[in-house]
């Protein structure tokens, strides 16, 4: 059964459904809009989880999320993770990628999941999450790029708290234009309240606080950012309404442009819950 919740304008806020894998694994309850997901041991627990998510307070930030992880293009690996709390007004996302050593192929997904879990369960700062995950990546020689994003309260109102290190691109729609917020490709083009921290390990983690102003935020692996021209990137980010379709089209644009590496993309659309 699927449960759909809409705002007063009729726009879908949550689309919650339950699936049970045929191999007898626990049922999975997920929202195809915001990316929330849980596992349930029984039908009764699945219904309870679904109903609880449906009652998430309307004043809390809600996002329509698009996520694409492309494979088969190289020896590297990329992954993304989504976290949505039903207990606190917290959402978090992470994108990670590695150099491609066979023994660390699963490291990006593990690190992305761990970064999101740390923010959701302990409330640590995004920059600290990046630092902790990079230290963990060193233990498994993953050579990981990592971007961590959290929906946060700022002095000017709701916003994004973002930290990243490695090879990535981050873009924000502002009045119909696509602005590079923070990027390993364009390190001198920040927008907003940016601070860069150099830790004793020699890592440089760039941090940014950007307003959550009801416009799209896109984070992508550096391989996509390099392959897709600024003109095509802007056209897709501003012209494709559905965030999942936008993420897919950006990845395919990279493939058509000769992208030789795997990649991951996250597209975040803040939703009006009124």
Do 71 and 166 lie in one domain? The reply is yes
Do 160 and 35 lie in one domain? The reply is no
Do 9 and 141 lie in one domain? The reply is no
179 DSSP β-pair partners:
172
Q: What is the CATH number of the domain that holds 93?
A: 3.60.40.10
Domain of 81 in residue numbering reads as: 62-271
Which string of DSSP letters, residue by residue, matches 185-242?
SSTT---SEEEEEE-TTS-EEEEEEEE--SS-EEEEEHHHHHHS-HHHHHHHHHH--S
Give CA–CA dist 129/147, Å, rounded.
10
Do 94 and 157 lie in one domain? The reply is yes
Do 49 and 86 lie in one domain? The reply is no
Q: How many domains does the chain have?
A: 2
H or E segment to which residue 1 belongs: none
Do 122 and 226 lie in one domain? The reply is yes
pLDDT at res. 65: 94
pLDDT at res. 95: 92
pTM: 0.84
Do 72 and 17 lie in one domain? The reply is no
Could you say which of 54, 76, 96 is where a domain stops? 54
Do 137 and 95 lie in one domain? The reply is yes
Kindly state the DSSP code that residue 249 receives in the 8-state scheme.
H
Do 77 and 213 lie in one domain? The reply is yes
Torsion angle, alpha carbons of 77, 259, 208, 231, to 10? -160
Cα separations (Å) of 188 from 28, 126, 177, 182, 206? 43, 21, 18, 8, 11
pLDDT at res. 134: 75
Do 80 and 29 lie in one domain? The reply is no
- Residue pair 53/31 in contact (Cβ under 8 Å)? The answer is yes
Report, as ranges of residue numbers, the positions in the chain whose pLDDT lies below 50.
102, 140-142, 184-203
pLDDT at res. 190: 38
Which string of DSSP letters, residue by residue, matches 12-81?
EEEEEEEE--TTSPPEEEEETTT--EEEESSHHHHHHHHHHHHTS-TTS-EEEEEEEEE-SSSS-EEEEE
């Amino acid at each position: 059964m699927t449960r759909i919740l809409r705002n007063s304008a009729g726009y879908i806020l949550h689309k919650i459904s339950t699936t049970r894998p045929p191999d007898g694994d626990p049922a999975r309850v997920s929202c195809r809009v915001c990316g929330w997901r849980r596992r349930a041991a029984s039908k009764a627990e699945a219904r309870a989880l679904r109903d609880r998510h449906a009652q998430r307070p309307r004043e809390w930030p809600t996002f329509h999320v698009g996520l694409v992880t492309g494979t088969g293009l190289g020896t590297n690996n990329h992954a993304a993770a989504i976290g949505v709390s039903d207990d606190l007004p917290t959402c978090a996302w992470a994108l990670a990628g590695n150099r491609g050593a066979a023994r660390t192929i699963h490291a990006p997904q593990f690190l992305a999941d761990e970064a999101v879990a740390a923010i959701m369960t302990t409330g640590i700062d995004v920059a600290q999450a990046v630092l902790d995950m990079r230290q963990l990546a060193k233990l498994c020689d993953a050579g990981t790029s990592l971007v961590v994003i959290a929906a946060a309260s700022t002095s000017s109102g709701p916003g994004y708290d973002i930290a990243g290190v490695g090879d990535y691109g981050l873009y924000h729609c502002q009045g119909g234009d696509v602005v590079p917020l923070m990027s390993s490709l364009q390190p001198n083009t920040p927008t907003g309240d940016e601070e860069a921290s150099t830790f004793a390990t020699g890592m440089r983690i760039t941090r940014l606080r950007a307003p959550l102003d009801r416009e799209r935020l896109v984070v992508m692996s550096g391989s996509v950012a390099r392959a897709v021209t600024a003109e095509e990137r802007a056209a897709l980010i501003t012209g494709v309404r559905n965030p999942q379709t936008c993420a897919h089209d950006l990845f395919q644009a990279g493939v058509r442009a000769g992208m030789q590496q795997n990649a991951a993309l996250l597209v975040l659309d803040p939703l009006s819950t009124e």
